[in-house]
Homo-oligomer: A and B are copies of this chain.
Amino acid sequence: MKKLNDWINRGLPDLCDQMSETLGGACNLCSKDGRVNMSTRKSAYEALDSLLEVLFPGCYAREQFDTCDVSLFVGNHMRHAAAILGKLLEFAFRHRCDIGLCDGGCDCETMAADTVIHLLEQLPDIHAVLMTDVRAAYQGDPAAVSVNEIVLSYPGIEAVATHRIAHELYLHGVPLIPRIMSERAHHRTGIDIHPGASIGKGFFIDHGTGVVIGETCRIGENVKLYQGVTLGALSFARDESGNPVKGVKRHPDIEDSVTIYAGATILGGDTVIGHHSIIGGNVWLTHSVPPYSKVFLNPPKHCVVNWDPNGNGGKGE
């Protein structure tokens, strides 16, 4: 490694200068105090894990604990989560000020404190809703043997539990952190729920990989999705400078007791799927359907031919 070591000593310093200069323009990507980065992400994950431990201590606890005294465990983890979130939300609010996204004069510290307190006060309600989600999973999947199995191993529960926390932060206008949390669930489960989406109780996502639920979706109660379902935008408006107009309703509404099978794509802010409808797999739908609808693909063309399996094993058509 002599050649490389020589270069590291002699060639690299100039390259570093060049790289630093190049980065100059990207220093808008730095927070003023260098605190909004991967270490923020790590803290957000730690806060999220603690909140999940509070919501399902019997399953999400990361260590053995005395189940006779759940209150000690819950108390410790709420304190821990509150302390981390307090600092984290303050960074995040300040960062929004730094990059000029607020109109100035925010009391970032108080906003952070109020939001943390509000979130923690919601935990009993969030827990109650999550228990309806767990029950929906148990009733919706013949392969589920016990409730513990669902909480310990179903990715849909982790994604929805994360969403119900991130959504509270989103409603309080917290920048960055809710998206970091939702992307953590996305990374771990393949389920991408924007923190802005509003989702009723008894929600079950089975398998889940590839599910996308957009920011302005509204989902009713007892809805069931399978893997690969997209609830997305059909198109969006742009302003004069070509940037997309933010904050417009772009994603569909799914009413109560709808089931959507694997790979279906439903798009558009005016699209409403009426209650008790069933949307078949791989359907591509960009308009509303009334309650009690069933929507399917045309059956595929099907042919039986003689072919030589040894001649070409790699045919894709």
Contacts and interface: CB of A to CB of B under 8 A. Distances in A.
A124 B22 contact: yes
B31 A58 contact: yes
A35 B59 contact: no
Interface residues on A, range: 35 or more
A199 interface: no
Interface in A186-206: 186-190, 192, 194, 196
A64 B37 contact: yes
A187 B186 contact: no
A265 B296 CA distance: 13
A93 to B, nearest CB: 13
Contact of A58 (B26, B152, B259): B26
Contact of A19 (B11, B36, B127): B127
A16 B120 CA distance: 10
Contacts of A240: none
Contact of A70 (B23, B117, B146): B23
A314 B113 contact: no
Contacts of A194: 143
Given A29-B148, A155-B186, A116 B4 contact: yes
A83 interface: yes
- Most B CB contacts (10 A, CB to CB) among A3, A194, A293, A317 go to A317
A219 to B, nearest CB: 17
A78 B227 contact: no
Given A186-B209, A292-B306, A34 B235 contact: no
A63 B153 CA distance: 29
Given A71-B17, A244-B139, A265-B263, A37 B23 contact: no
Interface in A126-160: 127-128, 131, 138-143, 145-149, 151-155
B316 A34 contact: no
Contact of A86 (B4, B13, B109): B4
Interface string A213-240: 0110000000000111010111111100
Given A36-B152, A113-B4, A227 B192 contact: yes
A56 to B, nearest CB: 6
Given A33-B64, A34-B58, 10 more contacts: A1-B87, A4-B82, A17-B71, A153-B182, A230-B262, A235-B312, A235-B314, A263-B263, A280-B316, A294-B304
21 contacts: A1-B112, A12-B82, A15-B123, A23-B70, A27-B58, A29-B58, A31-B67, A32-B67, A139-B243, A140-B314, A152-B180, A207-B212, A207-B230, A209-B209, A230-B262, A234-B316, A265-B282, A280-B317, A292-B307, A293-B302, A294-B305
